[in-house]
Amino acid sequence: MDRKKALVRGFGRVVLRVVIFVVRILPLPAGLALGRALGTLMRVMSKKRWRVALKNLRIAYGDSLTEAERERIARESFRNAGMFAVEGIKFAFIPQDEVERRIRVEGYEQFEPIMAQKRGCLFISAHVGNFEVMGRWFSPRGYELMALARGARDRGTTDIMLKLRERMGIKVFTLDKSLKPVFAGLKRNACVAIICDQNATDIFVPFFAHPTGTVDGPARIALRLRTPMLFPYCIRDGRGGYVVRAEGALFDPESTGDEKADVERAMTEVNRRLEAIIRRHPEQWFWFHDRWRSSPEVVDPAAQPRAAEQTVTTPS
């Protein structure tokens, strides 16, 4: 690493530590207001991300949304991303009684029969609301919660974030390391969270009616270990609280002997479930992530020439 890059990353770690200190001492409402302001600043400073958000909304919804509606959802998406960053710090330190007061869980009764099977469980979720907040409510119930995540480019930053997530009750394993501890965890009936709504090239299956590059790891793990899937997510209720829900019933993939077809079928179902969640809470999803970057068949409708412009008339 060259000296300039090392200095930039070192400065970034200092800034992150300062932000953590400030957020810790702020009451949660004040912290969330700060988060919304940071999200707005990110939108203003990053024209590229703003364009990506609008492009994604055009791809996902076509003409069913007006331009004003797309812009409103995109603005809220940035604000929610800022709150997401603050919550990832604040919930690592707030007392458990405040966690219990702020989080309402719906559908928890479907979870215990799953765990009674003693095969572990895959928590499949997305960047909707704040999935990490679930850890503070879930872990004290006596269940082991693990998560797969991408590490930051800077090892020091990764270590800081890992410690925060450990305080949330989440054991994080970065994807650049062996997954043996994850397999071992599932075999001892742990829950493993996987966020799989980002750009990938493993497999192309439908997402918002488009063939979309998607990770295939969840399906391969589930098929290999016969691990049940559940689709929990945590959204903000607009009143300073959070609601944890699980989308749909248990999805338990079974092998037919055709691995490729089994993986495609399982990940098609995963994308269908995640899309349903996003459609219910579009303002709380990260639209500014370039979700269709590796999907060459998916084209921004705004970039397509109009039919009239494509028609060539020949003089008679």
> Taking residues 268-297, what's their average pLDDT?
95
Confidence of residue 72 (pLDDT cuts 50, 70, 90): very high
Query: Would the pLDDT of 12 be above 80?
Result: no
Cβ atoms of 82 and 35 within 8 Å: the answer is yes
Residue predicted with more confidence, 3 or 270: 270
> Taking residues 63-79, what's their average pLDDT?
97
Confidence of residue 297 (pLDDT cuts 50, 70, 90): confident
SS3 category, 203: strand
Q: Where are the alpha helices (DSSP H) in the chain?
A: 3-25, 28-45, 47-61, 67-90, 96-102, 111-115, 133-138, 155-167, 180-187, 217-225, 259-280, 307-310
pLDDT of res. 29: 94
- How many C-beta atoms surround the C-beta of residue 109 within 10 A? 8
Rounded Cα–Cα distance for residues 260 and 268 (Å): 12
Query: How are strands ordered across the β-sheet holding 103-105?
Result: 103-105, 242-246, 232-236
Q: What are phi and psi of 245, to 5 degrees?
A: -135, 165
Rounded Cα–Cα distance for residues 171 and 150 (Å): 13
Of 160, 106, 170, nearest to 133 by C-alpha is: 170
Q: Are strands 210-214 and 203-207 parallel, antiparallel or unpaired?
A: antiparallel
SS3 category, 207: strand
pLDDT of res. 35: 95
Query: Would the pLDDT of 249 be above 80?
Result: no
As a whole number, the mean pLDDT across the chain is: 88
Of 41, 246, 15, nearest to 124 by C-alpha is: 246
> Taking residues 75-81, what's their average pLDDT?
97
> Taking residues 187-193, what's their average pLDDT?
93
pLDDT of res. 159: 86
Degrees, nearest 5: CA angle 300-302-308: 120
Q: What are phi and psi of 293, to 5 degrees?
A: -60, -40
Query: Would the pLDDT of 155 be above 60?
Result: yes
Q: Where are the domains of the chain?
A: 1-90, 102-285
Confidence of residue 73 (pLDDT cuts 50, 70, 90): very high
Cβ atoms of 129 and 282 within 8 Å: the answer is no
Query: Would the pLDDT of 311 be above 70?
Result: no
CA torsion 151-156-160-161 (nearest 10°) is -10
Residue 278 corresponds to which tokens in the numbers above? Answer: 């996003």
pLDDT in tens, 192-221: 999 999 999 999 999 999 999 999 999 999
Poorest-confidence range of 60-74, 144-158, 216-230?
Answer: 144-158
Q: pTM of this prediction?
A: 0.90
